[in-house]
């Protein structure tokens, strides 16, 4: 049987039935919280470091009162962030809502695959909007077909993908983009498509786009795996989110081996981060077999993972209170 101890992470103690809190807590020491301030000088120096303004975003938040903005974020790649975003957005749409999804992971886009846009030509993307070639609504694609007939007549999903062209990705890495324009785009997309919810699939780590995404969001859902690097990075991100006064902050622990004690994991993570865990998802061969060919919670509606995803969707959308 595979155990974390086999990869020399036993000091984190995500074992079957026991977690030594003092050892686990050592990964959440003050130095990690201080590192957020050392790296980003949050929040005051964001304005001084470049032309982007948290003040601008704050005023924008006040004007976006017709839709709920939910950012799905992880400190590291490979956590299942885009998969979680796609499933939650689809489940919220299935409940009869108009939902938008924006892929702001411009250096490594991929969520479009989950929405069945592998062979569909992307005439316009988020990149085109950021380079002032089109309106953001022109880069939004109706991907409601992923619902497979589930939902209500009001159920709609729109995706604004990022470009997968090598030249476009290289340009983003080389030149960056106007973050203020991006958030003006959020506002315009909500207005033009009459959205009830806007999901933001963020770029992993912490950068300017992430900081602004956290600031503009009503809810931020942080996803992590039971992995030492994820623990450290998530601690920093939680501190950043608190400094930016995110209204609703939740955690999801993903890719947990089924033999672990999920209740003990929830208790320990919540205790150390002081953030509610709204769901724990197992490392699933069923999810792997799907291989991003659709929305798991729609294709396997009665699967235990789908039930957990529905519970998470209900909590982050505000339909039910967080557990």
High-pLDDT (> 70) share of the chain, %: 78
Which pLDDT score is estimated for 177?
A: 83
Determine, yes or no, domain membership for 202: yes
Judge whether 201 and 231 are in contact, CB under 8 Å: no
Which pLDDT score is estimated for 320?
A: 63
Determine, yes or no, domain membership for 321: no
pLDDT averaged over every residue in the chain: 81
Average pLDDT over residues 154-165: 95
Determine, yes or no, domain membership for 256: yes
Judge whether 162 and 177 are in contact, CB under 8 Å: no
- When divided into structural domains, the chain yields a total of 1
Which pLDDT score is estimated for 97?
A: 97
Element containing residue 72 per DSSP (H, E): strand 68-73
SS3 230: helix
Spatial distance between the Cα atoms of 66 and 243, rounded to a whole number of angstroms: 25
Return the minimum-mean-pLDDT range out of 56-65, 153-162, 203-212, 276-285: 56-65
Neighbours of 287 (CB within 10 A): 20
> Residue 21: is its pLDDT beyond 70?
no
CA angle 187, 223, 209 (to 5 degrees): 35
Determine, yes or no, domain membership for 322: no
pLDDT digits (tens, 9 = 90+) for 195-248: 999 999 999 988 877 888 888 999 999 999 988 888 888 998 999 999 888 999
Determine, yes or no, domain membership for 323: no
Domain residues for the domain of 109 are: 4-316
Which pLDDT score is estimated for 4?
A: 27
pLDDT digits (tens, 9 = 90+) for 297-317: 999 999 999 999 999 999 999
Determine, yes or no, domain membership for 110: yes
- Sequence-distant (6+) residues with CB within 8 A of 252 are 84, 221, 222, 223, 224, 277, 278, 279, 280, 281, 312
pLDDT digits (tens, 9 = 90+) for 87-106: 999 999 999 999 999 999 98
High-pLDDT (> 90) share of the chain, %: 53
What CATH number is given to the structural domain containing 216? Answer: 3.40.50.300
Determine, yes or no, domain membership for 170: yes
pLDDT digits (tens, 9 = 90+) for 29-65: 444 334 344 344 444 444 433 434 444 455 455 445 5
Determine, yes or no, domain membership for 136: yes
């Amino acid at each position: 049987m595979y155990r974390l101890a086999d990869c020399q992470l036993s000091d984190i103690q995500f074992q079957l039935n026991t977690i030594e809190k003092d050892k686990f807590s050592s990964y959440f020491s003050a130095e990690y919280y201080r590192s957020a301030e050392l790296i980003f000088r949050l929040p005051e120096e964001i304005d001084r470091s470049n032309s982007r303004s948290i003040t601008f975003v704050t005023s924008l938040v006040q004007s976006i009162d017709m839709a709920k903005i939910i950012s799905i974020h992880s400190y590291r790649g490979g956590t299942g962030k885009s998969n979680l975003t796609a499933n939650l957005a689809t489940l919220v749409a299935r409940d009869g809502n108009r939902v938008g999804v924006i892929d702001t992971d411009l250096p490594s886009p991929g969520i479009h695959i989950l929405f069945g846009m592998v062979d569909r030509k992307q005439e316009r993307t988020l990149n085109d909007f950021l380079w002032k070639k089109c309106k953001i609504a022109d880069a939004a694609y109706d991907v409601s077909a992923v619902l497979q007939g589930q939902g209500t007549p009001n159920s709609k999903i729109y995706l604004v993908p990022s470009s997968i062209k090598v030249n476009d990705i290289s340009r983003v890495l080389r030149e960056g983009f106007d973050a203020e324009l991006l958030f003006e785009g959020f506002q315009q997309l909500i207005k033009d498509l009459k959205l009830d919810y806007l999901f933001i699939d963020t770029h992993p780590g912490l950068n300017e786009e992430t900081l602004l995404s956290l600031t503009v969001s009503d809810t931020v859902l942080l996803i992590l795996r039971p992995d030492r690097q994820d623990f450290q990075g998530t601690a920093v991100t939680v501190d950043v989110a608190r400094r930016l006064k995110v209204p609703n902050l939740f955690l999801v622990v993903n890719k947990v081996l089924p033999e672990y004690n999920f209740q003990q994991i929830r208790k320990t993570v919540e205790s150390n981060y002081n953030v509610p865990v709204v769901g724990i998802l197992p490392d699933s061969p069923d999810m792997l077999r799907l291989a991003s060919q659709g929305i798991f919670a729609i294709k396997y509606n009665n699967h235990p993972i789908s039930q957990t995803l529905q519970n998470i969707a209900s909590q982050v959308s505000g339909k039910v209170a967080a557990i």
